[in-house]
Amino acid sequence: GPKITKKPVDTEALLHTDAVFTIETSGSPKPEIEWIHRDQSIKSSDKYEIIEESLTVTKLIIHDITPEDESPIQIKVKNALGQSEATVQLKALETPRIEPQLTDQEITLGQTLILKTNVYGRPKVDVQWLKDQKPLASSDRIKTERTADDECILTITNVKEEDIGSYTLTIKNKIGKADSTSNIKVTASLRFLNQLNDLDIIQGSNGVLSVDCEGVPKPKLTWYFNDTEIKSNQKTRIDAKGSTSTLTINKGDMPDIGIYKVVADNGKERIETQANVDVCVKPKIDGKPTDVTCLLNETAKLNIKFTAIPKATVTWHKVDGTEIIADERIQIVTDDNGQSTLIINNTTSQDSQAYIARATNKVGSID
């Protein structure tokens, strides 16, 4: 009977390429060869090509391999005296690929990030997620999943600043490997945890203004005095710590009066806060008050002068603390220079006592 002197070998072929099987036979009369693939007897067509290279050698070429072609091929060799059979395997291979490619994303702090795509490859690919080129560790916030139909999904809930980075899906099989990367940016709206408040500095003392600003990307904080940028120096020192910036005005003086502003800018957003700074002087007595003697029923005038910034309010009091209220007989006159005069008309013996003048402004008072 007919013999198969050289059996075709199992073949692997990439999708859309050709697979070639060669058989050598012997026998007399010359045997017929039947190829059976996917339960059909093969005839020459666009898909299948059968070539007799010689009396003993025959080739089968299968064009444009698809996944469906991955099935055994049966060969029957027969003549009038009998038949021989052989079976050979065809495997379809596919280079790994990821589709669609991952894209860069920008996500708000606290939101959920989802990266998903499909993976292809024969044999089935192994998949791995990397963050910044190192294997990504799963956690209660970070989950990876691969579905039955080879969709790969990375989910990060409650996104934090530490999640910024590049995420890569890398896949491989024995044919090769592929990867796709998404760069993730995390943003959070800028906000001041506290606004600047107006500040009164006592002349010669230090004044401190401080702000705390949060946001992602982290903002740059710049200080301005009457719209001119402040550089940190001995007079105006700027200290940054974490998200807080503190401005210290050393030995406050009149030129330091004005509007102080902080601008927070992270390249995406810009916010500002401002405050008025005033430099003040506590009330002081100017000169020495003198006692006054006058006759009964005459007019007595007591004078005292105070200096203060801002201008002091002057009140007069008796020793027991009672404030003296102006009436027909008593007048209190205070001028713009800080001089205050208590005028008592038609003096009586009860008026003969000590009087206290009190000057008060927002930073202090003096008797």
Two tokens, residue 348: 């009586």
Residue 287 is predicted with a pLDDT of 78
User: In sequence order, which residues have a C-beta less than 8 Å from that of residue 285 and are 6 or more positions away?
Assistant: 304, 305, 306, 359, 366
Q: Contact, 282 vs 363, CB < 8 A?
A: yes
pLDDT-derived band at 184, boundaries 50, 70, 90: very high
What domains are there in the chain, each with its CATH number? Answer: 3-88 (2.60.40.10), 95-187 (2.60.40.10), 193-282 (2.60.40.10), 287-366 (2.60.40.10)
For the entire predicted model, the pTM comes to 0.64
Secondary structure letter of residue 278 according to DSSP? E
| pLDDT greater than 80 at residue 120 | yes
- pLDDT exceeding 90 applies to what percent of the chain? 82
| pLDDT greater than 80 at residue 225 | yes
Instruction: Tell me what the mean pLDDT of segment 158-171 comes to.
Output: 96
Residue 23 is predicted with a pLDDT of 97
- What does the alpha-carbon distance between residue 19 and residue 291 come to, in Å, rounded to a whole number? 124
The mean predicted confidence, pLDDT, of the chain is 94
Instruction: Tell me what the mean pLDDT of segment 152-179 comes to.
Output: 97
Residue 286 is predicted with a pLDDT of 86
Q: Contact, 338 vs 308, CB < 8 A?
A: yes
Residue in 169, 165, 180 with CA at minimum distance from that of residue 105:
165
Q: Contact, 269 vs 220, CB < 8 A?
A: no
Residue 1 is predicted with a pLDDT of 84
Instruction: Tell me what the mean pLDDT of segment 273-288 comes to.
Output: 91
Instruction: Tell me what the mean pLDDT of segment 205-222 comes to.
Output: 94
Tell me the per-residue pLDDT of 305-328, one tens digit each, with 9 for 90 and over.
Answer: 998 988 989 999 988 889 999 998
| pLDDT greater than 90 at residue 121 | yes
Instruction: Tell me what the mean pLDDT of segment 73-82 comes to.
Output: 95
| pLDDT greater than 90 at residue 291 | no
Residue 213 is predicted with a pLDDT of 96
- Work out the number of other CB atoms within 10 angstroms of the CB of residue 244: 15
Residue 99 is predicted with a pLDDT of 97
Instruction: Tell me what the mean pLDDT of segment 264-286 comes to.
Output: 94
Tell me the per-residue pLDDT of 18-57, one tens digit each, with 9 for 90 and over.
Answer: 999 999 999 989 999 999 999 999 999 999 999 999 999 9
Tell me the per-residue pLDDT of 351-365, one tens digit each, with 9 for 90 and over.
Answer: 888 889 999 998 889
Instruction: Tell me what the mean pLDDT of segment 172-194 comes to.
Output: 96
Residue 343 is predicted with a pLDDT of 92
Can you spell out the DSSP letters for 14-77? ETTS-EEEEEEEE-SSPPEEEEEETTEE---SSSEEEEE-SSSEEEEEE-S--GGG-S-EEEEE
Two tokens, residue 90: 């065809």
- Work out the number of other CB atoms within 10 angstroms of the CB of residue 342: 21
Residue 292 is predicted with a pLDDT of 84
Tell me the per-residue pLDDT of 187-212, one tens digit each, with 9 for 90 and over.
Answer: 999 999 999 999 999 999 999 999 99
Triad 41, 43, 47: Cα angle to 5°: 110
Tell me the per-residue pLDDT of 126-136, one tens digit each, with 9 for 90 and over.
Answer: 999 999 999 99
Two tokens, residue 347: 């003096």
Tell me the per-residue pLDDT of 90-112, one tens digit each, with 9 for 90 and over.
Answer: 999 999 999 999 999 999 999 99
User: In sequence order, which residues have a C-beta less than 8 Å from that of residue 170 and are 6 or more positions away?
Assistant: 127, 128, 129, 130, 177, 178, 179
Two tokens, residue 326: 């102006």
Residue 43 is predicted with a pLDDT of 93
Backbone torsions φ then ψ of 256, nearest 5 degrees? -85, -5
Instruction: Tell me what the mean pLDDT of segment 71-88 comes to.
Output: 96
- What does the alpha-carbon distance between residue 294 and residue 301 come to, in Å, rounded to a whole number? 9
